[in-house]
Amino acid sequence: MTEARPLTAWRTLGVTQRSGARLPASDLVASLVRVDSRTFLVYGNYEALLAYNCAHRYALSIGVLADRIGAR
């Protein structure tokens, strides 16, 4: 996991959303997590998941599942 930075800093570095869209201009702090060939932008709640189970695959699985449930 990378050092946490504001979304504006990640945006300046060229990090984009999966769709290719630019990240929002925001001071919200996020980190990058790379698992296998995929990279995810994660927020503070990711740390809470790791506190419960310190496995990146677990935390990412919960995050992806929550995104899919929220998108319905």
Q: What is the pLDDT of residue 22?
A: 96
The model carries a pTM of 0.80
Instruction: Fill in the DSSP letter of residue 3.
Output: P
pLDDT score of 15 more than 90: yes
Please name the amino acid found at residue 58. Answer: Y
Q: What is the pLDDT of residue 54?
A: 93
- The three state secondary structure string of 6-72 is EHHHHHHCCCECCCCCECCCCCCEEEEEEECCEEEEECHHHHHHHHHCCCHHHHHHHHHHHHHHHCC
pLDDT score of 31 more than 90: yes
Q: What is the pLDDT of residue 2?
A: 87
- Find the mean pLDDT for residues 42-53: 93
pLDDT score of 42 more than 90: yes
